[in-house]
């Protein structure tokens, strides 16, 4: 067998699979033949998605996952591995953002957001990557954000978190070179999801106005979560010998009237 061959069965973990991009990714990977493990705090919502996977003939398991709780991540990894076998693909997708002015946001909240958006991703890495390195095979996808390269005001911890996440990912790509494990970044632009739907309406309107003011919302189009799911599926399906290390996906601007 070629050293570049991939096994036919490649169990995949998707965090934040209860809504938005994570739910779409679980459905897309399952449709492509990956057995999927869905993790999030709202397991009822993950079960809905898993039910759709099974109805379509795919394989899906659901386990509670709180990325801010180290024991939750460890238990999740143990249960998923016991049920699906060695995990070949990990999509680190869960994330959250809150609005606020940097000097007014209390430091505890700032730290809580970083704890999910960066430290949570590292907990996931610790839980799954050592075994991938041991097997000399595996894919890890970090779902970043365009704020990593074009920071938006009034979401400081989120911007810091995604910049940090990409720093971690780029360093990791070098550390993993030659191990057979590919760490990749998928960097979405604005996408319809549940992100920001918990914000106060006036605060959300203010923040969106500020994005326009600073040239960060050039047109009103948003992506569907399936667009990001397709990018993630493409990254993890690249043949051995090819590493799609970074993909940025943005909504196409509306056609101008002529």
- Which active-site residues does the annotation give? 158
Asked whether position 231 contacts ligand NAP by CB under 6 A, the answer is: no
Asked whether position 230 contacts ligand NAP by CB under 6 A, the answer is: no
Site string for ligand NAP, 76-115 (x = CB under 6 A): -----------------xxxx-------------------
Any bridge partners for residue 139, and if so which? 89, 182
Smallest gap from residue 240 Cβ to ligand NAP (A)? 27
Any bridge partners for residue 141, and if so which? 91, 184
Smallest gap from residue 65 Cβ to ligand NAP (A)? 5
Phi and psi (nearest 5°) for 114? Answer: -65, -35
Q: Which is nearer to ligand NAP, 22 or 100 (CB)?
A: 22
Q: Which stretch binds ligand NAP (CB under 6 A): 39-47, 105-113, 206-214, 238-246?
A: 39-47
Any bridge partners for residue 40, and if so which? 64
* Alpha carbon distance 240, 146 (integer Å): 27
Smallest gap from residue 153 Cβ to ligand NAP (A)? 16
Asked whether 100 and 158 are in contact (CB, 8 A), the reply is no
Q: Which is nearer to ligand NAP, 52 or 135 (CB)?
A: 52
Q: Which is nearer to ligand NAP, 95 or 138 (CB)?
A: 95
Q: Which is nearer to ligand NAP, 96 or 233 (CB)?
A: 96
Asked whether 16 and 94 are in contact (CB, 8 A), the reply is yes
Asked whether position 194 contacts ligand NAP by CB under 6 A, the answer is: yes
Asked whether position 68 contacts ligand NAP by CB under 6 A, the answer is: yes
Asked whether position 29 contacts ligand NAP by CB under 6 A, the answer is: no
Closest residue to bound ligand NAP by CB: 20
Smallest gap from residue 145 Cβ to ligand NAP (A)? 3
Q: Which is nearer to ligand NAP, 134 or 198 (CB)?
A: 198
Smallest gap from residue 179 Cβ to ligand NAP (A)? 25
Instruction: Give the DSSP letter string of the chain.
Output: --TT---S---EEEESTTSHHHHHHHHHHHHTT--EEEEES-HHHHHHHHHHHHHTT--EEEEE--TT-HHHHHHHHHHHHHHH-S--EEEE-------B-TTTS-HHHHHHHHIIIIIHHHHHHHHHHHHHHHHT-EEEEEE--GGGTS--TTBHHHHHHHHHHHHHHHHHHHHHTTTTEEEEEEEE-SB-SSTTTTS-HHHHHHHHHHHHHTT---SS--B-HHHHHHHHHHHHTSPTT----EEEE-PPPPPPP-
Smallest gap from residue 71 Cβ to ligand NAP (A)? 13
When binding is defined by CB under 6 A, the residue of 11, 16, 35, 99 that contacts ligand NAP is 16
Binding-site ranges for ligand NAP (CB under 6 A): 15-16, 18-22, 40-42, 45, 65-68, 93-96, 116, 143, 145, 188, 190-191, 193-195, 225
């Amino acid at each position: 067998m070629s050293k570049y061959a991939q096994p036919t069965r490649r169990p995949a973990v998707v965090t934040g699979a209860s809504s938005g991009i994570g739910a779409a990714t679980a459905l897309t990977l399952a449709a492509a033949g990956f057995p999927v493990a869905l993790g999030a705090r709202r397991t009822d919502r993950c079960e809905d998605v898993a039910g759709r996977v099974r109805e379509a003939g795919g394989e899906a398991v659901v386990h509670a996952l709180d990325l801010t709780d180290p024991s939750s991540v460890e238990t999740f990894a143990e249960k998923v591995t016991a049920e699906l076998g060695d995990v070949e693909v990990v999509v680190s997708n869960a994330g959250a953002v809150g609005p606020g002015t940097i000097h007014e946001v209390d430091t505890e909240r700032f730290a809580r957001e970083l704890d999910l958006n960066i430290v949570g991703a590292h907990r996931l890495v610790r839980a799954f990557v050592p075994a991938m390195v041991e097997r000399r095979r595996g894919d890890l996808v970090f779902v970043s954000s365009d704020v990593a390269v074009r920071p938006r005001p009034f979401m400081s911890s989120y911007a810091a978190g995604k910049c940090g996440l990409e720093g971690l990912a780029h360093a990791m790509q070098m550390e993993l070179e030659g191990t057979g494990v590919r760490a990749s970044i998928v960097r979405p632009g604005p996408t319809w999801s549940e992100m920001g739907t918990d914000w106060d309406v006036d605060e959300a309107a203010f923040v969106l106005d500020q994005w326009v003011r600073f040239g960060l919302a050039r047109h009103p189009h948003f992506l569907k979560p399936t667009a990001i799911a397709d990018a993630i599926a493409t990254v993890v399906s690249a043949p051995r010998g090819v590493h799609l290390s970074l993909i940025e996906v943005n909504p196409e601007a509306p056609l101008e009237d002529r």
